């Protein structure tokens, strides 16, 4: 395998490969263009996202500034994905996000890691492991999701959490390290925040 193939194989490789650097530079040029758009240039943003991403669904919105190692080249978004300011995607390999998932400000999703052994780090080696997030999730502000994590459907991750392990469907999770604290339950069908009740007409 060459280094480009190793990027998506979980193998150790050296990201300073000239061909990788060439591809990355092209991606970052388009990312720069996206981040320089004005708020009134929605059509331009939409067009650029479709050029930048591996896949992007309908009605997705990313609030600049947006940061990504490969400008979204290895990112797959479903429909109706929303990302607030400063979404950071370390997309050295694939990131999958389902439909109707929301990201608060300053969320980081990392697929890249480096060996613990200092001799290997000194040679510039890294490895990449994909991240997958399901449908209808809410990832709170300043959450960090680490390489190899899979998050199920309908998951809420509390602000400031560091997600190091997989999370199942239909849970509320938070902490550092992040853990599933409870399931989405009957209380959540009656209240949307503390003592604030949900109007039954909305359901």
Question: What is the number of structural domains in the chain?
Answer: 1
In a domain, 81, yes or no: yes
Residue 12 lies in domain: 3-197
* 65-115 confidence digits (pLDDT tens): 999 999 999 999 999 999 999 999 999 999 999 999 999 999 999 999 999
The model's confidence at residue 203, banded by pLDDT at 50, 70 and 90, is confident
CB of 100 within 8 A of CB of 80? yes
C-alpha dihedral, 109 to 122 to 3 to 12, nearest 10°: -70
182: confidence class by pLDDT, cuts 50, 70, 90 = very high
Residue 93, domain CATH: 2.160.10.10
Q: Which of 46, 76, 114, 187 is catalytic?
A: 114
The whole-angstrom separation of Cα 97 and Cα 89 is 12
pLDDT tens-place string over residues 123-165: 999 999 999 999 999 999 999 999 999 999 999 999 999 999 9
Q: Is residue 167 part of a domain?
A: yes
Judge whether 203 lies within some domain: no
In this predicted structure, what is the pLDDT of residue 52?
98
Q: Which one, of 114, 113, 111, lies nearest residue 95 by Cα?
A: 111
Does the annotation count 74 as an active-site position?
A: no
- Does residue 135 lie in a domain region? yes
Residue 168 lies in a domain: yes
In a domain, 202, yes or no: no
**DSSP-H helix ranges across the chain:** 3-6, 18-35, 42-52, 118-122, 186-190
Distance CA 51, CA 187 (A): 42
Listed residue (61, 53, 57) closest to 78, CA to CA: 57
pLDDT of 76 reads: 98
- Helical segments of 80-176, H only: 118-122
pTM of the model: 0.95
66, part of any domain:
yes
What is the share, in percent, of the chain residues with pLDDT greater than 70?
100
**Size of the chain in residues:** 203
């Amino acid at each position: 395998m060459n280094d480009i193939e190793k990027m998506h194989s979980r193998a150790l490789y050296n990201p300073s490969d000239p061909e990788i650097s060439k591809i990355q530079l092209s991606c970052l040029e388009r990312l720069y263009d996206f981040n320089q758009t004005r708020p009134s240039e929605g059509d331009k943003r939409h067009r650029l996202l479709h050029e930048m991403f591996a896949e992007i669904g309908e009605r997705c919105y990313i609030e600049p500034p947006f940061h990504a190692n490969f400008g979204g080249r290895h990112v797959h978004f479903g429909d109706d994905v929303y990302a607030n300011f400063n979404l950071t995607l370390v997309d050295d390999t694939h990131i999958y996000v389902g439909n109707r998932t929301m990201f608060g400000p300053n969320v980081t999703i990392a697929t890249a890691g480096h060996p613990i052994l200092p001799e290997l780090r000194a040679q510039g080696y890294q490895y990449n492991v994909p991240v997958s997030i399901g449908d209808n999730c809410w990832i709170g502000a300043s959450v960090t999701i680490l390489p190899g994590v899979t998050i199920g459907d309908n998951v809420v991750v509390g602000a400031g959490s560091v997600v190091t392990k997989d999370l199942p469907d239909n849970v509320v999770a938070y902490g550092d390290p992040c853990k599933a604290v409870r399931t989405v339950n009957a209380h959540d069908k009656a209240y949307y925040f503390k003592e604030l009740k949900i109007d039954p007409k909305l359901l």
